[in-house]
Amino acid sequence: MKISLNVREESVQEVTRALREEPVEITEEAPYILSEVTVSSGLLTVRDLKNEERVLVPLADVVQFAAFGHTVEVRTREKTYSVSMPLYKLDEMLEERSFLRVSNSVIVAVRHIRQIKPTLSMRFILTMSDGSEADVTRTYYYAFKEYFHI
């Protein structure tokens, strides 16, 4: 089987080494692409929750990432997907200016924040563009304030 790699440069060697034992030929002209979940292309490979199909979702459409146990949900305005990657790795990969971690289990897309509601404790409640809400917890309170200069 011929596949093409769509991974970061630093990952090429690691992936190639892993695939060496498999009956796979890595070539640019392959009918299949092994793609890393990455933001370099502005796309994210996610899994459809209903039919388990892999889908490429534009990061611009992602409203928030929410972790539930070992599952990380990727919520867009239309649909919810899952991604098999820990939240902290996503946090590292995502652009700092576009996404913001607001709690241990949630990363939100800054452009999709519609309203910030202050509370009487050290928390904010964010209303997202899809109508969902996300809490800015105390741990991320000051980081959030710093981000928005508020």
Partner 1 sequence: MNTFNVMIIVVAIVAALVLLFALYYVLYKRHINRALEPGEKPRLRLIAPYKLLIGLTVFLLALSVSLTGVFGANMALDYEGITKRAGRDLASRTLEVIDMPAVGKNGEPYTPPRPSDAAEIEGLLSTCGFDGFEVIPVMGISSFTHHDYRAAFVYGVDAKDCALFGLESMEDDVGYMFEAESDAMTLQLDVVRAETSEGSSGLVAYDMVDYPIRTQSGLSPEGFTEVFFESMTPTQREDVLYSGRPVLFVTLPTLAKMLAVCLRDDLPDGVRDVEDVFEHPWFSGCSMYICMNDLMDVNAARTALGEQGCVTVGPLKETTDYYESMSLLFRAVCAAGAVLTCVAAVNVFLSVKGVSQIRRRRKARAAG
Q: What φ, ψ does residue 24 adopt, rounded to 5°?
A: -125, 135
Task: Report, in Å, the least distance between residue 143 CB and partner 1.
Answer: 6
Task: Report, in Å, the least distance between residue 43 CB and partner 1.
Answer: 24
Total of chain residues touching partner 1, rule CB under 8 A: 21
How many Cα neighbours within 13 Å face the side chain of 85? 19
Site string for partner 1, 19-58 (x = CB under 8 A): ----------------------------------------
- The residue count of the chain comes to 150
Task: Report, in Å, the least distance between residue 123 CB and partner 1.
Answer: 9
Short-list 146, 62, 67, CA closest to 110? 62
Contact call for residue 142 and partner 1 (CB under 8 A): yes
Task: Report, in Å, the least distance between residue 60 CB and partner 1.
Answer: 15
Amino acid at 88: Y
Residue 105 and residue 71 in contact, taking contact as beta carbons nearer than 8 Å: no
Choose between 27 and 119: whose C-beta lies nearer to partner 1.
119
Residue 147 and residue 80 in contact, taking contact as beta carbons nearer than 8 Å: no
How many Cα neighbours within 13 Å face the side chain of 43? 11
Contact call for residue 143 and partner 1 (CB under 8 A): yes
Site string for partner 1, 78-117 (x = CB under 8 A): -----------------------------------xxxxx
Residue with tokens 């599952």, as numbered in its chain:
71
